[in-house]
Amino acid sequence: MPVRTVLNTTIEHVSILDEDGNFDADLGRDLIPDDDAVRLYEHMSICRHFDEIAFKLQRSGRMGTYPENRGQEAASLGAAYVLRPDDWLVPCYRENTGLFWRGLPMEMILLHWMGDERGNQIAADLAMTPQAIPIGTQLLHAVGLAWASKYRGEDRISCTFFGDGATSEGDCHEALNFAANLNIPVVFLCQNNGWAISVPTKIQCSAPTLAQRGMAYGMPCVQCDGNDIFAVAKVVRDAAELARTEHRPTFIEAVTYRLGDHTTADDARRYRDQAEVDAWKKRDPLLRLRNYLSERTLWDDDREKALAARAKKEVAAAARRAEEIADPARTDMFDFLYATLSPDIEAQRSTARTSSLGVDPTQLDDARSSGIEEAV
């Protein structure tokens, strides 16, 4: 039998505003109006200041740990900007800019990293899930949410964010397979920042792109400059349209870089060359967008100074709200875990005791006769 080719494919790389200020007017036309570009820059700047304060909170012992978003702000923000308010955002833990743009109060992220579960009590109308700390698990959640929307006849979709390291996890491939085979409207947005903690992408994946991993499941795949908010907005907008009209998923690889450590528990100086970090600082999405605005006389030093003062005020207020929140009630662990309490759990709730449960039968009687206000 003759040899024949069964597949030829290409992966496109999309860039609209590069680090040198070059702007592709054809691709970028009408993508982000000037007023919105200013708002996006202001928001990104405030989130950068939030990063600085969160880092200081951790270093001063007021927060357990924290993963900086610095350098990766454009990816989640560009996506949140073009998606509809009812589309699901399913993050990992470096998507503050997108979550805050959607309306998540800043103190919620601080509470999460302070170990306060109330930081994950997100209002339903925000259409987002809590941060996913296990690597890659959230991709399956995104598929389930989009599948439910499709089943109900809704035209809302989901967009999930994950890193390059997650593409080596089984959960990622199961999610891709599910979405492609069942025509589930999901946008898979991989933020390839070059490092899965201390393991470089080139070691964990021998392919020239991560985008092509979606090819194995028969879905459209594209790579973009993840530090270019215009490019991110375009590829996510196109992917969302495909998901909404044809229920087809898309795999997007946003090439970016984390300028800080993996988390405050990490020291990236042990495995990254400073020359590499310095090179990526020149591609900073924040500086890139500011230069774009300045060249069009949409921004100046006076506005920058006013923005810095605003950022300081807003982030300080969020930090105060997180640190001054009232202590949770001891009964919360029962009230938010169980729909209906069994007798033994009710006894634990009302007496704040477990040591004698099942040994001293009178504890059940004590529980029934004592009011919570008296016993707890």
Query: Which pLDDT score, from 0 to 100, does residue 162 have?
Result: 98
What mean pLDDT do residues 172-187 have? 98
Residue 190 has pLDDT above 80, yes or no: yes
What confidence tens digit (pLDDT) does each residue in 41-51 have? 999 999 999 99
Residues 129 and 252 in one domain: yes
Query: Which pLDDT score, from 0 to 100, does residue 350 have?
Result: 87
Residues 349 and 211 in one domain: no
Distance CA 123, CA 259 (A): 31
Residue 372 has pLDDT above 60, yes or no: no
Residues 302 and 173 in one domain: yes
The answer to the question of residue 8 being in a domain is no
Residues 24 and 132 in one domain: yes
The answer to the question of residue 21 being in a domain is yes
Residue 221 has pLDDT above 80, yes or no: yes
- The 3-class secondary structure across 225-276, one letter per residue, is ECCCHHHHHHHHHHHHHHHHHHCCCEEEEEECCCCCCCCCCCCHHHCCCHHH
Q: Taking each helix axis from N to C terminus, what angle separates 343-351 and 362-369, rounded to the nearest 10 degrees?
A: 70
The answer to the question of residue 1 being in a domain is no
The answer to the question of residue 343 being in a domain is yes
What confidence tens digit (pLDDT) does each residue in 353-364 have? 776 555 565 655
End-to-end CA distance of the chain: 80
DSSP class of residue 169?
S
Q: What is the CATH number of the domain that holds 287?
A: 3.40.50.970
| Strand 250-255, strand 186-192: pairing | parallel
The answer to the question of residue 254 being in a domain is yes
Residues 249 and 345 in one domain: no
What confidence tens digit (pLDDT) does each residue in 101-132 have? 999 999 999 999 999 999 999 999 999 999 99
What mean pLDDT do residues 86-92 have? 98
Distance CA 8, CA 283 (A): 33
What confidence tens digit (pLDDT) does each residue in 268-301 have? 999 999 999 999 999 999 999 999 999 999 999 9
Beta carbons within 10 angstroms of residue 230's beta carbon:
26
As annotated, the active-site residues are: 258, 262, 271
Residues 133 and 245 in one domain: yes
**Structure tokens, 353:** 């005791």
Query: Which pLDDT score, from 0 to 100, does residue 367 have?
Result: 57
Predicted TM-score (pTM) of the model is: 0.91
Nearest Cα to Cα of residue 272 among 162, 372, 181, 193: 193
Residues 313 and 339 in one domain: no
Distance CA 105, CA 124 (A): 13
Of residues 243 and 205, the one with the higher pLDDT is 243
Residues 106 and 228 in one domain: yes
Residue 375 has pLDDT above 50, yes or no: no
DSSP class of residue 207?
S
Indicate the residue among 287, 304, 323 that finishes a domain. 323
Residues 237 and 359 in one domain: no
Query: Which pLDDT score, from 0 to 100, does residue 373 have?
Result: 40
What mean pLDDT do residues 160-177 have? 97
Residues 161 and 289 in one domain: yes
Task: Tell me the percentage of the chain whose pLDDT exceeds 90.
Answer: 85
Q: How confident is the model at residue 337 (pLDDT cuts 50, 70, 90)?
A: confident
Residues 269 and 358 in one domain: no
The answer to the question of residue 230 being in a domain is yes
Indicate the residue among 279, 301, 323 that finishes a domain. 323
**Structure tokens, 27:** 């691709």
Q: How far does Cα 96 stand from its chain's mean position?
A: 6
The residues facing 199 across adjacent strands are 196
Quote the number of domains for the chain: 2
Residues 166 and 270 in one domain: yes
The answer to the question of residue 214 being in a domain is yes
The answer to the question of residue 232 being in a domain is yes
**Structure tokens, 113:** 């990293």
Buried b (16+ CB within 10 A) or exposed e, 249-261: bbbbbbbbbbbbb
Domain range spanning residue 350? 332-375
